[in-house]
Amino acid sequence: MRMAKLEMLQLLVLLALLNAASSQTLQSFPKLCNVRNFDDFLEQTGKVYTDEREREFRESIFAAKKSLVDLSNSRVGSYRLSINILADLTRKEVATLLGSKISTQGEEYTASHINFVPATPPLSDKLPESFDWREKGGVTPAGFQGINCGSCWSFSTIGALEGHLFRRTGVLVPLSQQNLMDCADDYGNMGCDGGFQEYGFEYIRDHGVTLANKYPYVQSEMECRQNETAGRYPRESIVKIRDYARIDPGDEQKMKQVIATLGPLACSMNAGAVSFEQYEGGIYEDDECNKDEVNHSVVVVGYGNENGRDYWIIKNSYSQNWGEQGFMRLPRNAGSFCGIASECSYPIL
């Protein structure tokens, strides 16, 4: 039985390699450089406000965020901010990106699920001090979920699955976030209106998910086309999982174990602070993110230490032009900073 499953995964990998079409999600906003004022911002983003009152409103938002960026960067700290395309959006508008949401329907599916961490290898001091699945070749580039689309939950689910599939096969196979967006509503997800990574795993366990180049991401929810996109040989283009596992809330040592031995984690965090949206690099340490509940789904792809500070490596879905090429470093062993250890799970192939 196990051999048959492995052969099926190998067929999937072969099919992915033979497909020449691009599997990357839509590119996002441009990379902004040396934005001095609102005119620079408009020129580099291509945004146009013909209504003068609207322009003044947007400029006031931009000015407040520019002041925050400059003030934060003037202090000696472990992280840096920069102006990006979100700089003229209200908190409510940016919040549309934060789509980690629990639903009654979804909780009915996951209510009886048992927390699980493999007994072997045992927790020990032999785990590497640093580990990064990007260095192994097991992480796809950061995609962009799109403004006004809270589909982070689908990117989190898919990102974790891609990493575990890579660990199993040795080949990185980009999978379809859009497949989940369009088809997983019955499992408690709501497309661009939010969802939860465990609900995504529930769907994949029952129905599987197809390749990204067969079902590309379009930044909005559409009619489900999984059967159509699977083609004549669905077993060769659909990935299913046997189950998924949860990490006990707050257990960062088990997070480290799973990442170092099995693959990336799909986790929730609080990304509501203005500093998060304008993050450029470094170990993010704004305590503002510890004041509210988790609201955003990400992928934890590794961990490390810099100048005596432990950190997690987070893959976000704001494009490669956000943060450290789409990634962030977040304090580790710091009481679940930003809630990063509160809701973590991973697929079991």
pTM for the model stands at: 0.90
The class of domain 94-348 in CATH terms is: alpha beta
Residue-by-residue pLDDT tens, the chain, 349 positions = 444 454 555 545 444 443 433 333 334 567 899 999 999 999 999 999 999 999 999 999 999 999 999 999 999 789 999 999 999 999 999 999 999 999 999 999 898 777 766 654 555 558 999 999 999 999 999 999 998 999 999 999 999 999 999 999 999 999 999 999 999 999 999 999 999 999 999 999 999 999 999 999 999 999 999 887 655 555 557 899 999 999 999 999 999 999 999 999 999 999 999 999 999 999 999 999 999 999 999 999 999 999 999 999 999 999 999 999 999 999 999 999 999 999 999 999 9
Q: Which residue type sits at 22?
A: S
Q: Please list, in sequence order, all residues whose beta carbon lies within 8 angstroms of the beta carbon of residue 163, skipping any fewer than 6 positions away.
A: 133, 138, 139, 263, 264, 299, 301
**How far, in Å, are 152, 224, 225, 236, 284 from residue 210 at the CA level?**
18, 12, 10, 9, 34
- E strands present in 75-172: 79-81, 131-132
Which residues have a catalytic role annotated? 152, 296, 316
Q: Where are the domains of the chain?
A: 94-348
- Give me 337's structure tokens: 């900073």
